[in-house]
Amino acid sequence: MKENNFDLILMDYSMPPGISGTEAIKLIKKIKPTVKILGVSSHTENCVAEDMINAGANGYFVKDSDRQVMAEAIKAVLSGEVYFNKEIM
């Protein structure tokens, strides 16, 4: 992963058994602290978004959002902003 050059990771909250999305975010940030991570999930509860942000994600949006929301989230996070879906706010 250290040799890969990428700007953004979309990370799902619910992962296959073995590692959670929040655990994966923490591991990624240890290896590449500057990479932007955008949390994605079907969960609309504030606590899920908070868990991902506390783990190191730079934003969060809900999976069933339309394409424009996803584009806004990506642009915001790549610009250095923290992004939350309106459903979460």
Residues 6+ apart with CB under 8 A from 16: none
Q: Across all residues in the chain, what is the average pLDDT? A: 89
User: In which domain, by residue range, is 23 found?
Assistant: 8-81
* Domain-located, residue 64: yes
CATH number at residue 40: 3.40.50.2300
DSSP labels for the chain?
A: -TT---SEEEEESS-STT--HHHHHHHHHHH-TT-EEEEEES---HHHHHHHHHHT-SEEEETTS-HHHHHHHHHHHHTT--EE-TTT-
pLDDT of 37-74, one tens digit each? 999 988 888 888 899 999 999 999 998 888 999 999 99
- Domains held by the chain: number: 1
* Domain-located, residue 3: no
* Domain-located, residue 31: yes
Asked whether the CA dihedral 1, 17, 14, 27 is positive or negative, the reply is: negative
Asked whether residue 89 carries a pLDDT value surpassing 70, the answer given is no
* Domain-located, residue 22: yes
